[in-house]
Amino acid sequence: MTIDARRTYQLPTVAGMAVRQRVTCGDEVTYVVLDRQWRVVEAAEEYLEHLRQEPYSPHTVRSYAHGLALWWSMLEERDQDWRKVGVQDLARFRQRLRNSGSDPSVLRLRPNKPVPDSTVDAALTAVMSFYRYQAIVADVPAARQFYVHVKGGTTEARGRYASFLGHLGGGQNRRVVGRRRDPKSPPPFLTPPQITVIKQDAAAFQTEAGCWVGDLRMRLLWMLLEETGLRLAEALLLQHGDWHPGTGTTAWVEVQPREDQRRRLRVKNQQYRRVYISDDLDELYGEYLFWLVDLGLELRDADPVFVNVFRGEFGRPLRPETVYDWIEGFKRRHPLLPPGWTPHWFRHTHATALLLAGVPEHVVQRRLGHADIQTLMTTYAHVTEDAAMRAAADWKTLAARWGAVA
């Protein structure tokens, strides 16, 4: 690969092993794999470029680049050609991942903490996908060893590409190295009192002064996530033109297929949807607009809803790092709330509340933007069976306040 002069490469700090490296090209941010000589790995770059051209999330490219870098590190240590590998190498790679990158043949006096199966599988998936691609475009023989053809399969092999062993007849392709799943735990959620604490910490209305005190932007963000179940990326990518105030009808926001490479934000699945909101949230948005104008910001429909106010370049799009910095400060001020909560907990809370309030599953699916209803049912299968959760809060009142069924 010829390095593009427009791209900025920061040399890795770890020598002697392949690494994933962040690359900037104008406003685009992506990732490449560098070998131990700090050269771009051609085969990996070809595959990652394919992912960039396809509708894959930047986070997927980042994750796959990391998995391939770990794979290349093992190959370089063993002086192996990536085209001349076998099933035993894939099995060795899995064991190496479980040993936190150490050679499984070397005994350690202090064994590393076991790596979660989900982490191991993420790297394995990257490697398997890479070889699946190479088998199709370059007919790499080694790639064929990583799948076995099962006669009489009852389900279609999943994947974006046609089966590269399809010429063998009916059946399906299966990985020779299977997946090990961590025990599925219920998604975490916040209770209404906890949500109130978070919103009040961001900004509170002072009745005597007749105004909001605090960061009204963050209160709007938390209230938006609470009432809509939007992902953080979807919220931060909202523009003022996507917000449709209620003028005699129910207010709503549009989730548009959108992406921001520099902030590493992307609407998942690039799917459009409309989400109805409550009058309270719509009114808070109106007050937020006046707040921004008072701060000296000019507003246009194409401008992002959430922008820098107190740090960074004033008026520039708000970055997720700023949101997480705010959360870290909040946790120090309120140590009794769940220490591991993230913005995504609002999404789980939203789905939990709607399901416990009796909202039909297909309505919740469309509101959350899940690709299919099975995803919703699998993720929240525990909800309607848990009597303790139903007693934890008045979920029906909470859901009704959001206008979620409008």
pLDDT in tens, 273-284: 999 999 999 999
Judgement on whether residues 98 and 12 belong to the same structural domain of the protein: yes
Judgement on whether residues 212 and 249 belong to the same structural domain of the protein: yes
Give the domain-ending residue among 144, 175, 206: 175
Judgement on whether residues 77 and 208 belong to the same structural domain of the protein: no
Judgement on whether residues 120 and 204 belong to the same structural domain of the protein: no
Judgement on whether residues 265 and 394 belong to the same structural domain of the protein: yes
Cβ atoms of 285 and 220 closer than 8 Å = yes
Q: At what angle do helices 117-137 and 58-77 cross, to 10 degrees?
A: 90
Judgement on whether residues 241 and 337 belong to the same structural domain of the protein: yes
Spell out, as residue ranges, where the chain has pLDDT lower than 50.
1-15, 149-173, 176, 406
Judgement on whether residues 25 and 158 belong to the same structural domain of the protein: yes
What pLDDT shows up at residue 3?
Answer: 40
Task: Please give the biggest Cα pair distance in the chain.
Answer: 78
Judgement on whether residues 158 and 50 belong to the same structural domain of the protein: yes
Total tally of structural domains belonging to the chain: 2
Q: Is residue 2 part of a domain?
A: no
Q: What is the CATH number of the domain that holds 63?
A: 1.10.150.130
d(CA 282, CA 244): 9
> Tokens 């470029």 belong to which residue?
49
Q: Is residue 183 part of a domain?
A: no
What pLDDT shows up at residue 116?
Answer: 80
Give the domain-ending residue among 175, 203, 233: 175
Judgement on whether residues 199 and 110 belong to the same structural domain of the protein: no
Q: Is residue 147 part of a domain?
A: yes
What pLDDT shows up at residue 153?
Answer: 35
Q: What is the pTM of this model?
A: 0.71
Judgement on whether residues 70 and 157 belong to the same structural domain of the protein: yes
Letter for the amino acid at 256? Answer: Q
Torsion over CA: 16, 70, 23, 35 (sign):
positive
Domain containing residue 398: 192-402
Give the domain-ending residue among 125, 148, 175: 175
Judgement on whether residues 141 and 290 belong to the same structural domain of the protein: no
Judgement on whether residues 171 and 284 belong to the same structural domain of the protein: no
Q: What is the CATH number of the domain that holds 388?
A: 1.10.443.10
d(CA 337, CA 347): 17
